[in-house]
């Protein structure tokens, strides 16, 4: 399958080049030429299939033309060596728990898949010394770093905003060593993202270094996130609750919800989506006005959603041919303050004995407010609450048990390099490393 840029100046790019490049030379994001619709027979029997079987079917539609079947199957099955359960919370509301992977966040799916697919292409080409640049507001860094840890020929640079990720999130990518370098940027997530994008656009830098991205701007990162939407539907169908399905996605850089929209285009019977924002409600405002007006991000207790200029918005526009009307027909929005997020988290715990993380709290609240009586709602619980330990404990007034996986990360020694938010400083660092 060939890929084109959302800026329309580049097309006919192979999957391999799209994955390795990360970002198109015209500064657009890569999109597949076609989105294959899956057959009715697949959906008729989806509730009898395992997560890995479902994911392989979807992966084959995305990547089967470009990756050998046995290799693709191996990548999928190695990526998804953990469960993604759908848990009933209250009434017609369900939580899709995406935090049972190695770093306890939804990005384990995309991060692990991409690391393996990139490794496949690097081995195929016989290339070495590929540099992966990833900006993170928390969970992306840990998922990507752990996905690529120890992979020969690849060095990962994780850029994160100083003081703006939780201590537990930070220790998941600053304590690894080996081929992982953590860069602590004196700025916001948007600054980190800008540095990564600028690096891809710098001719001098790219002439001397082989660069790629592991953010959701990379097709190998965001497309695999479609897997768990299909699996959520399969679990609903097994429960007899697969009619009029509404999915609410806590949204930051919009890679996750974009993957869900791809799933819908492939035939997954989702009635509609809700994009839940914190105070960084650029998309919500777009829905109201039809105007996209990015602005500097603000810090919130749902820090992974602190994005003032969501990269994947261009993909959403592309999917719907720029039609504000078409987007509004399938996606609605919600936005919440820190106080509203906190009160929702606390109430859900007290009333339902279900502990949310701050991002999941946004999704849960949006469903409670916007779900109709005849609909079945699923919100994405994107990370384990313990990853936001101080915040969650302060809200509920109780200690939160830290999973063993996180405890192991916390034993390591933090190693990071402080850099400014100025691109020339970042460029100089990369060239001299």
Neighbours of 77 (CB within 10 A): 15
Count each helix (H run) and each strand (E run) in the chain, helices first. 20, 14
How many whole angstroms separate alpha carbon 395 and alpha carbon 162? 24
Question: Is 36 a catalytic site residue?
Answer: no
Of 8, 21, 36, 107, catalytic = 107
CA distance 24 to 131: 17
Contact yes or no for 343/349 (Cβ under 8 A): no
Question: Based on the number of CB atoms within 10 Å of its own CB, is 321 exposed (0-12), middle (13-18) or buried (19 or more)?
Answer: exposed
- Torsional sign, CA 356, 359, 361, 365: negative
Phi, psi at residue 281, to the nearest 5°?
-105, 45
Among 147, 63, 384, smallest CA distance to 55 is for 63
Cα 34–Cα 38–Cα 39 angle in degrees, nearest 5 = 135
Question: Mapped to the 3 state alphabet, what secondary structure does 176-190 carry?
Answer: CCCCEEEEEECCCHH
Write out the catalytic residue numbers. Answer: 107
């Amino acid at each position: 399958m060939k890929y084109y840029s959302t800026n329309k100046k580049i097309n006919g790019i192979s999957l391999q080049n799209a994955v390795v490049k990360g970002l198109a030379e015209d500064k657009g994001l890569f999109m597949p030429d076609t989105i294959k619709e899956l057959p009715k027979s697949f959906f008729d029997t989806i509730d009898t299939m395992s997560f890995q079987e479902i994911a392989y079917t979807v992966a084959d539609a995305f990547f089967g033309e470009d990756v050998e079947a046995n290799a693709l199957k191996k990548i999928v099955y190695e990526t998804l060596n953990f469960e993604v359960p759908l848990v009933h919370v209250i009434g017609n509301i369900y939580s899709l728990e995406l935090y049972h992977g190695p770093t306890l966040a939804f990005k384990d799916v995309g991060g692990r898949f991409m690391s393996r697919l990139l490794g496949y292409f690097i081995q195929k080409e016989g290339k070495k010394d590929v540099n992966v640049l990833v900006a993170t507001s928390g969970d992306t860094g840990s998922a990507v770093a752990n996905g690529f840890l120890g992979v020969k020929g690849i060095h990962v640079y994780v850029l994160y905003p100083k003081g703006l990720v939780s201590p537990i999130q930070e220790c998941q990518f600053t304590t690894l060593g080996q081929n992982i370098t953590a860069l602590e940027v004196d700025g916001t997530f948007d600054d980190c993202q800008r540095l990564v994008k600028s690096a891809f656009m710098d001719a001098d830098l790219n002439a001397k270094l082989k660069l790629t991205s592991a953010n959701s701007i990379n097709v190998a990162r965001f497309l695999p996130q479609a897997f768990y939407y299909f699996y959520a539907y399969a679990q609903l169908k097994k429960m007899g609750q697969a009619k009029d399905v509404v999915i609410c996605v806590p949204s930051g850089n919009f890679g996750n919800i974009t993957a869900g929209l791809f799933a819908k285009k492939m035939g997954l019977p989702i009635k509609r989506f809700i994009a839940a924002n914190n105070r960084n409600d650029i998309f919500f405002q777009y829905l109201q006005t039809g105007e996209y007006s990015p602005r500097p991000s603000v810090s919130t207790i749902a820090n992974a959603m602190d994005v003032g200029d969501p990269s994947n918005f261009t993909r959403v526009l592309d999917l719907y041919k720029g039609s504000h009307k078409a987007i509004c027909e399938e996606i609605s929005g919600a936005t919440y303050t820190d106080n509203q997020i906190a009160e929702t988290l606390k109430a859900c715990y007290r009333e339902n004995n279900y502990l949310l993380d701050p991002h999941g709290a946004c999704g849960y609240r949006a469903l409670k407010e916007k779900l109709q009586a005849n609909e079945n709602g699923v919100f994405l619980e994107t990370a384990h609450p313990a990853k936001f330990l101080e915040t969650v404990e302060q809200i509920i007034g109780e200690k939160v048990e830290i999973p063993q996986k996180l405890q192991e990360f916390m034993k390591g020694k933090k190693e990071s390099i402080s850099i400014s938010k100025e691109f020339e400083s970042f460029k100089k660092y990369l060239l001299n490393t």
